[in-house]
Amino acid sequence: MVRAAVLAAVVAGALLGATSACGSDLTPPAAPPPRVDPTDAAALASITCNRNGIRGAPTRVRTQPDGVHLRFENTANATLRYSVDHLQGGQGDTLPRGTSTVVVQAPPGELRVQCLGPGRYPDPEKMPTRTIQVTDPSGYAAGALLDCANETVVVSHPVYADNAPGQRGDPVELARTDLGARLRPADVVRRLWYAGPDEAIVIVQRGGLTVARTKFQRLGKDEWLLEMTERCATFNDSTD
């Protein structure tokens, strides 16, 4: 009886050991990727700069009605410069000592930011760059980018004499006049509320895609000057 009990215990222990060994080879299922909440982003991106470039920035920022708000803190005892680059272009300017707030009309996607000036990296190509992801949970920038796929984008800039007067009226109607016969009856022409207080951007959407944009500069109350027109090459075809 004792030998039988011992043998049973040995067999049970061996089976338990085998089970444990097999279990140790099992890889636990991978955890699902964390859910990214587009609203979980700063309304204002606080960026720190010193003589050696950009030192701190958030990973995400969300759009506001007039664009992406960046607050630069220049801790250097000197005037620096900033540079931002995004899918739609970029801009840059000087950064005085202390705090400066800049509004950038950047679309959703990557916003690359640099601080430039005296320091270890005078060459912009060697300056540190921080990438901030722009989210648009409120849809302020919806339609901001042209959906031209692989088409050529046609850009035109009117040339004016000095002190040229603007046109009075609603920017949407002014854009309709400028685009004229290129518009199709089903085209949606609307103002994009993603611009500064002294400019207006009007987009044309065709089949849900943005195929043209016009930009106006405010000269006075209800007075606008056409600055630029961008359109997909096939936008000129006014027939369905």
Range 223-232 average pLDDT: 94
For residue 202, the tally of other CB atoms under 10 A from its CB is: 25
pLDDT of the residue at 39? 55
- Cβ(214)–Cβ(202) below 8 Å: yes
| Kind of pairing between the strands at 60-62 and 89-95 | unpaired
Q: What percent of the chain has pLDDT over 90?
A: 50
- Residue of 55 and 37 predicted with greater confidence: 55
Which residue segment(s) compose the domain that 88 sits in? 45-135
Domain end marker among 105, 135, 165: 135
Res. 78: pLDDT tops 70: yes
Res. 12: pLDDT tops 70: no
pLDDT digit string, tens, across residues 87-121: 878 889 999 999 999 999 888 999 999 999 876 55
Res. 122: pLDDT tops 90: no
**Overall domain count for the chain:** 2
Residue 94 sits in a domain whose CATH number is 2.60.40.420
Which of 88-97, 115-124, 169-178, 228-237 is least confident?
Answer: 115-124
Give the separation between CA 150 and CA 233, rounded to whole angstroms.
10
Count of alpha carbons within 13 Å of 202, Cβ hemisphere only? 23
Give the separation between CA 142 and CA 174, rounded to whole angstroms.
21
Residue 180 sits in a domain whose CATH number is 3.10.450
